[in-house]
């Protein structure tokens, strides 16, 4: 039976998004240690949540950096929904919304202990770029970018 995936905007404070963000941070802490438990995103972040049959399955955030550039953050799919293409769907919608907002470039950071994330970004046409920001000197970080 095919299940429909609905991708909609969400706000911090909504139970579905908040639960996904807590799970994402817990997974990062499990992989990288307590240093990975970074605080909440900037209030300027825009979130999307993918739901399957009404259950929050995954999320993604868009953070403005400068004119024409955004950062993709918090790409996460709950364990029970992995392997169904939900992350690809979230990134596709992220890119569509970014284009509609006049964004020309996307950048993101992921970690070396997340090979599934690296594979996803490479599959979706992202290319390696120089590490940036707080991740600039991190041996555990990998940065990617894409022109829209």
Domains of the chain: 5-107 (3.40.630.30)
In this predicted model, what pLDDT tens digit does every residue of 75-99 receive, in sequence order? 999 999 999 999 999 999 999 999 9
pLDDT at 1 exceeding the cut of 60: no
> Can you give the pLDDT at residue 3?
65
Full-model pTM: 0.93
* Measured CA angle at 35 (ends 33, 39), to 5 deg: 125
- Average model confidence (pLDDT) across the chain: 93
Proportion of the chain in helix, strand, coil states, percent, rounded to 5: 35, 35, 30
């Amino acid at each position: 039976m095919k299940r429909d995936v609905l991708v909609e905007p969400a706000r911090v404070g909504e139970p579905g998004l908040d639960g996904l963000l807590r799970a994402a941070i817990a997974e990062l802490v499990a992989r990288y240690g307590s240093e990975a438990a970074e605080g909440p995103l900037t209030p300027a972040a825009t979130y999307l949540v993918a739901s399957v049959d009404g259950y929050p399955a995954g999320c993604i955030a868009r953070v403005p950096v400068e004119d024409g550039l955004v950062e993709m953050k918090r790409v996460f799919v709950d364990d029970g929904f992995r392997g169904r293409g939900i992350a690809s769907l979230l990134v596709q919608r992220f890119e569509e919304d970014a284009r509609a907002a006049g964004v020309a470039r996307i950048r993101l950071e992921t970690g070396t202990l997340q090979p599934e994330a690296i594979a996803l970004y490479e599959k979706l046409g992202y290319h390696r770029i120089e590490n940036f920001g707080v991740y600039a000197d991190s041996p555990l970080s990998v940065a990617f970018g894409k022109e829209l």
